[in-house]
Structure 1
Amino acid sequence: MSHYDVIVLGGGPGGYIAAERLGHAKKNVLLIEAGSLGGTCLNVGCIPTKALLNAAKTYEHAIHGKQLGVNAVDVSVDWAQMQKWKAQTVSTLVGGVGAAEKKAGVTVINGYGTFDGPGKVTVDATSYTADHVILATGSVPVMPPIPGTANNPAVVDSTGMLSVAEIPGKLTVIGGGVIGLEFASLFAMLGSEVTVIEMLPEIAPFMDADIAAQLRKALDGVTFQLNSKVTAIDGGTVNFTAADGSEQSVDSDVVLMAVGRRPAVQGWGAESSGLEFSGKGIVVDDRMRTNLPNVWAVGDVTGRSLLAHAAYRMGEIAVANILDDQAFRRGELMRWNAIPWAVYANPESAGIGHTEASAKAAGLNAKSVTVPGYMSGRFVAENGVKAPGAAKLVYDADSLQVLGLTVLGSYASEMIWGACVVLETELSVNDLRQIVLPHPTVSELIREAAWAVNA
């Protein structure tokens, strides 16, 4: 029986970053992954969708470049080549993860691991022990029990949508969250007739409602059915109860089920190990400790934040506390309020911290300001005055501390990191005003928002 300092169960973002960090700290580490290294994000999530979205945006720019003086001729989409580009991208990055683990001295086993209790893991009938175990089993798509869903070849989850044989003429997306919006935007840009059916009053419930409304209106080629509930699926026909109570239907070549993901807490030993968990995920504290001694959990399986970058940080938090029991005194704790999100549709949107509604619900004396995209010179130069774009700043009316920021428009996902620093260091509106940003950049919208505060 082989013994390790740490066994990591799951090779997604949280698991592989934890293994790599521990390896560089000279720990003897075993990383177990049943599929390909990189998990959902790298293989069938974040990375392949961004490869396809960038290709679609390139096509979109080409066919709409006339106003900029760029006249493209015979522009077309080669779906097979897009799929090839996606596969090459994923293969390259998966190989990179493997190389990084090897460089760090991590032992990697490709197999299905089961957790047998503190310090014990089995892979294909072979038992391994360790001083610590990190659980990073990820999440799986939610497939609600809608009549007509099971064994319906027209219905796919996000993994299946990435590999459809051809661009669908008609696509219906069930769910207006991040996954649904990105796929809706992708295929609308490629010419599909797209309908999104969302049960809530507005898309993207994590987003400020007014910015979400702007994003919805900006998604050209997408029809939205809000406050609507899918009742049944018959082949490619999706039946739903519309907002006015009427029974309606939409015909589709493909139906994407994009109602979210759930932590993968079943089938690998959680049930019989004494681990505290629920359908919402494994229970962890801010140091990523579970209820079992020397057993840690990171990433989607915790249910705390189903985002790859959150998983990275959770993995690093667990590692810091494994290496040093006093790490929390240095601030090595998970700060759940400082995790950004991004939606890579066209246009992009990103945000961090409180929305105006969530801040008020938390009892804060919150106020907000919103500035339009055309207040950035670069934004206008590249998109025009009428293009959708905005930055909304939420702040505490008493202390002027910045509570949250939402950005809509080009480069949103690349500029939001600055707001992460603002929230992590608890800067005020006045602090933000003193930061010098390069000109001309779209990021200047954040500074414009700070100066729009009447204080």
Structure 2
Amino acid sequence: MSEKYDVLVIGAGPGGYVAAIRAAQLGLRTAVVERDRLGGICLNWGCIPTKALLHGADVAHTLANLKPLGFSATGVEFDMAGLVEFSRSVSERLSGGVGYLMRKNGVDVITGSARLTGKGVVDVDGVEYRADHVILATGARPRPVPGVVADGGRVWTYFEALVPAELPTSLLVVGSGAIGVEFASLYADLGSEVTLVELAPQLMPAEDAEVADHVRKRFEKRGIRVRTSTSVSEIDVGPDSVTATLDGDTITVDRVLVAAGVRGNVDGLGLEELGVELDGGFVRTDQWCRTNVFGLYAIGDVAGAPCLAHKASHEGVLCVEKLAGVEHVAPLDRDYVPGCTYARPQVASLGLTEGQAAATGRELRVGRFDLTASGKALALGEAEGLVKTVFDATSGELLGAHMVGPEVTEQIQGFGIARSLEATADDLAEVVFAHPTLSEAMHESVLAALGRPLNT
């Protein structure tokens, strides 16, 4: 007889394991299926290990810029293997923590590869399970680039870029989304010669044009070669190098990193047989994460953009609460999920870019504050960057917030809270910000939007 659950989650990444925990908290008999490691890509091969490596890059940057602070350092050695070991140890610890949370909340963990064989029926390596509700949380994988085959040797995906045997002397990064920009910044700080290529006319195509232009200038100032409106038409992998053709030009590098986005993990799940609707390689869902098949849901990356861990976790909670009948559950507005890029400089954004907001036909109020006028940023020696806010001129509604500079990824949630509480520009102007802080720039940007800046 098949094991029966109220909720069966396929995939134990930040969407899947959170959904399983919330389901168990609501008294539902719950299991999660994972074929690899608990925590999914985020904890093991994405968000967390990259941040550990980027911390090492920040240390390298600090050591290279000690003189203005009155310090000097000699004889400092760098061991790539040691930094990689540190990043892997962080991932190991967090993955183990997810296992503890499963036990604590009474969630059964089933190890293996899952496939849907019918409505509410899941086969895991030959063992059948049944559930009233099945949640797909299978995540995504790197999107291939035509003519560029990642071989794990000379041509990397982010998997290989996280565990290099040695620091490449030169690196070509294909794609300038968050993944590509973070790795370009990381390897440049560690000493690699980096070229960053983007097919779109703008670096970081999803970001506000003003912010993207600032990042490009900062990258080029650091020696990172940036080429937009450029495609990779061919690569030739040799024993000691890779030669890539970029719109007729050629470049020879030590390694190539393919970072041109992701696609949903939908293959091998039995979705075609059940008639599950897809949209551009992702599972199509409604505002409650329901697919077109009754009792089947999809959350996180497999359900489409934005492909972010925190979006997956939020969807996991709202999906489970809705199916469990919890009152006052609100759907997620995907346009207002914050996005963060942990490069140097950091980028954080929420809502519409200025261009997107203008396209709605609304009258806008746009405020900007340059960090060259921030006392805290100057004291840190990081006074390059800006905060930009976009408001509806009539209602005062916050339509978008865009930040580039030190620790902006730790500040963007302030605008997220404001948006959630429906705070207007006038409301935000009345908030008292502590001085001296980096977050004062947020306040100054709002004041600028209202036409009454104080420090510019």
Describe the SS at the equivalent of 2:391: strand
Displacement after TM superposition at 1:399 (Å): 1.6
Is this contact kept in 1: 2:371–2:386, CA < 8 A?
yes
Match for residue 240 of structure 1? 246
| 2: CA distance, partners of 1:163 / 1:252 | 18
Describe the SS at the equivalent of 2:380: helix
| 1: CA distance, partners of 2:71 / 2:329 | 51
Q: How does 1:85-104 map to 2 (within 5 A)?
A: 85-104=86-105
State yes or no: 1:62 paired with 2:68: no
Displacement after TM superposition at 1:285 (Å): 1.1
After superposition, the C-alpha distances for 1:103-128 in whole angstroms (9 at most, x for unaligned) are: 00000011001122321111011110
Match for residue 315 of structure 2? 314
After superposition, the C-alpha distances for 1:230-271 in whole angstroms (9 at most, x for unaligned) are: 110011111111xxxxx2111111100010001111111111
Match for residue 425 of structure 2? 429
Match for residue 15 of structure 1? 16
| 2: CA distance, partners of 1:50 / 1:454 | 36
Look up the equivalent residue of 2:75 and give its one-letter code: D
Match for residue 341 of structure 2? 343
Displacement after TM superposition at 1:152 (Å): 7.6
Is this contact kept in 2: 1:181–1:345, CA < 8 A?
yes
TM-score by length of 1: 0.95
Query: Aligned in 2, Cα 1:317/1:168: closer, same or farther, shift over 3 Å?
Result: same
Is this contact kept in 2: 1:11–1:37, CA < 8 A?
yes
Match for residue 397 of structure 1? 393
Q: How does 1:328-367 map to 2 (within 5 A)?
A: 330-367=328-365
2:415 aligns with one of 408, 419, 423: 419
Displacement after TM superposition at 1:289 (Å): 1.2
Displacement after TM superposition at 1:401 (Å): 1.4
| 2: CA distance, partners of 1:45 / 1:309 | 13
**Superposed CA RMSD:** 1.4
Match for residue 117 of structure 1? 118
Q: Give the percent of matched residue pairs that are identical in Structure 1 and Structure 2.
A: 38
Describe the SS at the equivalent of 1:13: coil
| 2: CA distance, partners of 1:363 / 1:425 | 24
| 2: CA distance, partners of 1:133 / 1:84 | 36
State yes or no: 1:224 paired with 2:226: yes
Is this contact kept in 1: 2:152–2:160, CA < 8 A?
no
Is this contact kept in 1: 2:150–2:258, CA < 8 A?
no
Match for residue 169 of structure 2? 169
| 2: CA distance, partners of 1:421 / 1:102 | 32
Is this contact kept in 2: 1:63–1:75, CA < 8 A?
no
| 2: CA distance, partners of 1:150 / 1:206 | 25
Displacement after TM superposition at 1:435 (Å): 1.4
Match for residue 213 of structure 1? 213
Displacement after TM superposition at 1:403 (Å): 0.7
Is this contact kept in 2: 1:393–1:449, CA < 8 A?
yes
Q: How does 1:211-290 map to 2 (within 5 A)?
A: 211-219=211-219, 220-235=222-237, 236-241=242-247, 247-290=248-291
TM-score by length of 2: 0.95
Displacement after TM superposition at 1:356 (Å): 0.3
Look up the equivalent residue of 2:186 and give its one-letter code: L
After superposition, the C-alpha distances for 1:25-65 in whole angstroms (9 at most, x for unaligned) are: 22211100111011111111101100000011012112211
Is this contact kept in 2: 1:199–1:226, CA < 8 A?
yes
Unmatched 5+ stretches in structure 2: 452-456
Displacement after TM superposition at 1:275 (Å): 1.3
Is this contact kept in 2: 1:117–1:274, CA < 8 A?
no
Which is worse superposed, 310-319 or 108-117? Answer: 108-117
| 2: CA distance, partners of 1:116 / 1:152 | 33
Match for residue 449 of structure 1? 445
Displacement after TM superposition at 1:184 (Å): 0.3
State yes or no: 1:41 paired with 2:42: yes
Describe the SS at the equivalent of 1:91: helix
After superposition, the C-alpha distances for 1:41-100 in whole angstroms (9 at most, x for unaligned) are: 111110110000001101211221110112222223211110110111000000001100
Match for residue 244 of structure 1? none
1:409 aligns with one of 394, 405, 410: 405
Unmatched 5+ stretches in structure 1: 242-246
| 1: CA distance, partners of 2:404 / 2:415 | 14
Displacement after TM superposition at 1:12 (Å): 0.8
Is this contact kept in 2: 1:31–1:106, CA < 8 A?
yes
Displacement after TM superposition at 1:273 (Å): 1.2
| 2: CA distance, partners of 1:431 / 1:117 | 52
After superposition, the C-alpha distances for 1:198-256 in whole angstroms (9 at most, x for unaligned) are: 11111111111111111111121311011111110011111111xxxxx2111111100
Match for residue 154 of structure 1? 154
Query: Aligned in 2, Cα 1:416/1:151: closer, same or farther, shift over 3 Å?
Result: closer
Displacement after TM superposition at 1:150 (Å): 5.8
Match for residue 5 of structure 1? 6
